[in-house]
Amino acid sequence: MRDLKINNPIGGEIITPNDVKNYVRIDTDFDDSLITYLIIAARIQAESYISRDIVAKSRTYFLSEVGACQQFALPFPPIDEIVSVKSGDKDLEYDKIGLEDIHIKLKERVDIKNVTIVYTTLGMNTEALRVGILQIVSTNYDNRSDFVSNKVQVNMCNSATMILNPHKLLYI
């Protein structure tokens, strides 16, 4: 079993309500609170789609078992810092491997269970990500009669997926 939780966000949103208002051409302050919520929902949707953190976060990743190769990838890179790698109360030694330091190889060669990794991510801020999030917010704002509070839209608009595709990370 694998489990992943966000301990807390560290960074802030990469677009502002004013960015959205300029992009969508909104001249009033009436919908500012809705726009703020739509920004968060769009960013969460984009993060889920590309499997990377856009806003930096502290995360905890739990693995009930580690495979025979003693190696695994940390979800939602880019990784800033690995705070701890433990099995129960025991600190585990490890090496970071790979181009983005998202893979962990445990040094111990015994059957290890219940591994907990606490780490922080850097977040990402590129023009393409900002435009993708603006596109999602714009679509959700234009179709807000279909938007349900506290729910993320299931299907992303095609233009946003095309913008976000180069940032997408696949786990196999």
Global pTM reads 0.81
Beta partners for residue 9, in sequence order: 57
CA 124 from centroid of its chain's CA atoms: 9
pLDDT digits (tens, 9 = 90+) for 144-162: 765 455 554 556 667 667 6
Percent of the chain residues topping a pLDDT of 90: 63
pLDDT at 167 over 80: no
Q: CA angle, 89 as apex, 88 and 91 as ends, to 5°?
A: 100
d(CA 36, CA 49): 20
**Residue 75 confidence (pLDDT):** 93
Residue 52's pLDDT is 93
Tens of pLDDT along 88-131?
899 999 999 888 778 999 998 777 889 999 999 999 999 999 99
DSSP codes of every residue in 59-117: EEEEEEE--TT-EEEPSS--EEEEEEEEETTEE--EEEESTTS-EEEES--S--EEEEE
Q: Where are the domains of the chain?
A: 10-54+124-167, 57-121
pLDDT beyond 60 at 41:
yes
The token pair that represents 104 in the structure block: 């962990």
Over residues 28-37, mean pLDDT: 92
